[in-house]
Amino acid sequence: MNVESIRIVGAREHNLKDVSLEIPKNKITVFTGVSGSGKSSIVFDTLAVEAQRQLNSTFSWFIRNQLPKYERPHADVVENLTTPVIVDQKPVGGSSRSTVGTMTDILPVIRALFSRASGLPANLFSFNDPTGMCPECDGLGRSVVPNVELMIDRDKSLNEGAILLPNYKVGGPDWQVYGLRFDPDKPLRDFTEAELADFLHGSGGKVEVSFKNGSFGVNYEGLVTKFTRQALKRDTSQLSERTREQIQRFIKEGVCPACEGARLGPAALEARIDGRTIADWSRLQIADLLPLVPEGNAARTALERVAAIGLGYLSLDRPSATLSGGEGQRLKLVRHLGNTLTGMTYIFDEPSIGLHPHDVGRLNDLLRELRDKGNTVLVVEHDPDVIVIADHVVDVGPGAGVHGGEIVFQGTIDELRQADTKTGRGLRRTVGFKEQVRVADGKLPIVDARLHNLRTVSVDIPTGVLTAVTGVAGAGKSSLIDVFVETYPDTIFVDQSAIGASSRSTPATYLGLMDPIRTLFAKANGVAPGMFSFNSTGACEECQGRGVIITEMAFMDPITTHCASCDGRRFKESVLAHTLRGKSIADVLELSVEEALGFFTEKALLTKLRALADVGLDYLSLGQSLSSLSGGERQRIKLAVQLHRTGSVYVLDEPTTGLHMSDVDTLLGLLNRLVDRGNTVVVIEHNLDVVRQADWVIDLGPGGGRDGGQVIFTGTPEDLRSFPGSLTGHHLKLEA
């Protein structure tokens, strides 16, 4: 046994076909292949899951019950593992109290600096500590107050329905509290100042209110005072979603007037270093904060790493929930670089997502640094600029879904360049500039955009062409597009947000195919449509329509077994006896998109199925679980949902996310077809192959954050290549 390698034998997760391989330790190994080929099934669903499962088994059962539970992956052998550190694409999220400063552990060090300089306890500088947080906003920096003008209609009397809050129907118990205390026929605008103050904010006394069971004395509370107590001074998480939505209609949020958004109490805001408070430090861009922190300090080292990965435009007070997936992933990477652990296995899921080519080199430096500290680095990646730093490459394919799941190449990057695989051919190919760009037939102006770091930007989006919006991370691309979508609300916008992917959701359910399919089966067999749903009356009673039986018990990992009753087909036997054109509902759900296009004749179904084929997902089966799909496949399903909508302006936020080089060609074909049909297509994109094939480019910058927010170039991709001062143009020129 070679203990210098991680060994996998007979991996069968998802589409893997008895995959066996050895992965060298203390090296950078990059896993490549088309989207859906099985890369993540090897790295995350097999190797990472087994490493986490074995690590958790070293703890006591008391601790293990508090940890996530992992099912043993379908593989004969997974051995020679080391402790895993997984840096995935999931948004960092976090509560409203989580910021860049807290998640990177930089802010606690800065608190210690201010504590030492002022002599105050360090917890006074923490907005997450009761002694340090602003007493007015509880350390959130924002205040939520009732919006009185939305709660009442001053032109009406109480009898005419002046109270606009729900549950205040004229004559009802809540209404009587005010209708019996004030003149109910007097318009609110005619109330005296004292009456209005008492109506809105007063308290004291009792009002006799009539209920079905009799009359009761109720303590009087002003309308605003009562709403604040019931809606704002309580935990609303237990309320129904409908009730929370109703509450949201009557409140307004703004910067806390007491701390002016600093989150901290008065004592902490009195302390200064060189004339600046800790709140001032937190508001500065990291690139500007660096010179203020003493050399050799732990915070200085961490800040330098954040700047080195291209995130110097962020500030420490930036809420972590507002970070993009790419920004969050890079911040996780920086946090891991701060530890001194060695012999770990670091696993990255497309760390180049959201990165401009200018920043990829910095990412590569950090990956090498992790390896050189004595760690194994595994990277699932599509970007050729990241693939080239690999010590070892594993190419998975040859295709996606049922056409993938095999190792088609293992070796060095130089050997991969000569290999006859989709990745090898992709590394050898060159995508030139479009020979003839389209001419716009109109324009959609953006005027004086000032969102986030945009500096009163005015620019025209040309219609009838393919436009690429480019620039480094933080340049203002997404902000510009947000303004555009708000200005033109009929725009079809496909963002990067994740789609819900449970074991019960499928391509057919996500695209809205199941209702018409069930209706077809119901009409053909004279039964109710619900019979053909594995989430309803048609579900196998043994597995409840899952197709598998999941056994979860305390003190053991979950176990999933094939349902013997329905043979994994999810439906009752009686349901499968009903057919449509010779196929049962389970047979239809097992069809691939390509096969379904030949089976169905109904126009509504064919339109949605063709959309899946157009985005390169013709190999998926209609009933395949969305949770088994890769990130790139899920993004394309999102795009397919929008393709059959009626509209003329499409905006796509980094549509190449999760796409292999060969899949990018499919995407470009789709974008060009959309434009050829008379649509306007705008893409926010870092992928230079897409930029080269655009008709028009809007480049923002020149840098990120405070150094960005300007349109520095508009024109054709060919002209951008020779434009000085554009980092995008510089890289177009380098790769020409």
Please list, residue by residue across 450-471, b when 16 or more beta carbons sit within 10 angstroms of its beta carbon and e when fewer do: eebbbeebebbbbbbbbbbbbb
342, with CB counted inside 10 A (0-12, 13-18, 19+), is exposed
Count CB-CB contacts under 10 A for residue 319: 16
Indicate if 274 and 128 belong to the same structural domain.
yes
Q: What pLDDT is attached to residue 308?
A: 83
Task: Report the CATH number at residue 151.
Answer: 1.10.8.280
Q: pLDDT value at position 92? A: 72
Look up the CATH number of the domain holding residue 105. 1.20.1580.10
**End-of-domain residue from the set 268, 300, 332:** 300
Q: Give the chain's mean pLDDT.
A: 91
The stretch 446-459 carries a mean pLDDT of: 94
At residue 597, does pLDDT exceed 90?
yes
464 and 513 inside one domain: no
Pairing of strands 251-255, 5-11: unpaired
Same domain, 550 and 595: yes
Interacting residues of 82 by C-beta distance below 8 A, sequence separation 6+:
6, 25, 51, 343, 344, 345, 376
Q: What is the pLDDT of residue 154?
A: 95
Do 278 and 231 lie in one domain? The reply is: no
**Amino acid residing at 646:** T
For residue 456, tell me if it sits in a domain: yes
* Same domain (yes/no): 700, 552: no
User: In terms of domains, do 385 and 334 share one?
Assistant: yes
Residue 421 in any domain: the answer is: no
The range of the structural domain enclosing residue 115 comes to: 100-141+257-300
Q: Work out the burial of residue 353: count CB atoms within 10 Å of its CB; fewer than 13 is exposed, 13-18 middle, 19 or more buried.
A: buried
| 263 φψ region: left (φ > 0), alpha (ψ -120 to 50), beta (else) | left
- Same domain for 539 and 559, yes or no, is yes
Residues 137 and 264 occupy one common structural domain = yes
d(CA 43, CA 39): 6
Handedness of CA 226, 227, 233, 234 (dihedral sign): positive
3-state class of 373 per DSSP?
coil
Q: Is the peptide bond before 184 cis (omega within 30 degrees of 0)?
A: no
Distance CA 504, CA 516 (A): 18
| φ, ψ (nearest 5 deg) of residue 281 | -60, -45
d(Cα 380, Cα 395) in Å, to the nearest integer?
Answer: 10
Task: Of 105, 194, 190, 111, give the one whose Cα is nearest residue 156.
Answer: 190
In a shared domain, residues 162 and 243: yes
The mean per-residue pLDDT over the stretch 571-588 comes to 95
Higher pLDDT, 697 or 136: 697
Contact predicate 117/271, CB 8 Å: yes
pLDDT at 138 over 70: yes
Do 397 and 33 form a contact (C-beta atoms < 8 A)? yes
pLDDT (0 to 100) of residue 336: 77
In 10 A of CB 324, how many CB atoms?
Answer: 18
Q: Tell how strand 345-349 and strand 84-87 pair up.
A: parallel
| pLDDT score at 241 | 65
The larger pLDDT score, comparing residue 615 to residue 233, is at 615
Q: Which of 580, 595, 628 is the last residue of a domain?
A: 628
Least confident of 247-261, 283-297, 572-586: 247-261
Query: What is the C-alpha to C-alpha distance for residues 62 and 77, in angstroms, rounded to an integer?
Result: 28
The pLDDT score that the predictor gives to residue 300 is: 94
Q: What is the mean pLDDT of residues 239-247?
A: 72
Termini Cα distance of the chain = 47
Cβ–Cβ < 8 Å for 78, 7: yes
- Summarize the confidence of residues 159-182 as an average pLDDT: 92
The answer to whether residue 435 sits within a structural domain is no
Q: Is pLDDT at 236 greater than 60 in this prediction?
A: no
Asked if residue 515 belongs to a domain, the reply is yes
Return d(Cα 309, Cα 446) in angstroms, integer: 31
Considering the domain architecture, whether residues 132 and 171 belong to the same structural domain is answered as: no
Q: Is residue 516 part of a domain?
A: yes
For residues 615 and 517, membership in a common domain is answered with: yes
Residues in the chain: 736
Which stretches of 658-727 are assigned E, i.e. beta strand?
A: 680-684, 696-701, 710-715
Does 674 fall in a domain?
yes
Among the three residues 255, 288, 309, which one is the final residue of a domain in this structure? 255
Residue with tokens 């953006």: 446
Question: Omega of the bond prior to 398 within 30 degrees of 0, cis?
Answer: yes
Model confidence at 112, pLDDT cuts 50, 70, 90, reads very high
DSSP at 319 = B
Q: Which of 510, 506, 538 is nearest to 522 (CA)?
A: 538
**Confidence label for 237 from pLDDT (cuts 50, 70 and 90):** low
Q: Is the pLDDT of residue 232 over 80?
A: no
Helices assigned H by DSSP within 323-421: 325-337, 357-372, 384-387, 413-418
Residue 211's Cβ-count burial label (10 Å; 0-12, 13-18, 19+) is exposed
- Both 494 and 579 in one domain: the answer is no
Q: Which residues pair with 446 in a beta bridge?
A: 459
Could you give the CA distance from residue 133 to residue 439 in angstroms, rounded to a whole number? 57
Q: How far apart are CA 620 and CA 622, in angstroms?
A: 6
The SS3 assignment for 449 reads: strand
- CATH number for the domain harbouring residue 38: 3.40.50.300
Residue 216 falls inside a structural domain = yes
In a domain, 642, yes or no: no
Tens of pLDDT, residues 205-231: 888 888 878 888 889 999 999 998 888
Given a cut of 90, is residue 61 above it in pLDDT?
no
Structural domain count of the chain:
5
Give the model confidence (pLDDT) of 308-332 as tens digits.
Answer: 888 899 999 998 887 876 788 788 8
Q: What is the arithmetic mean of pLDDT over 517-529? A: 95
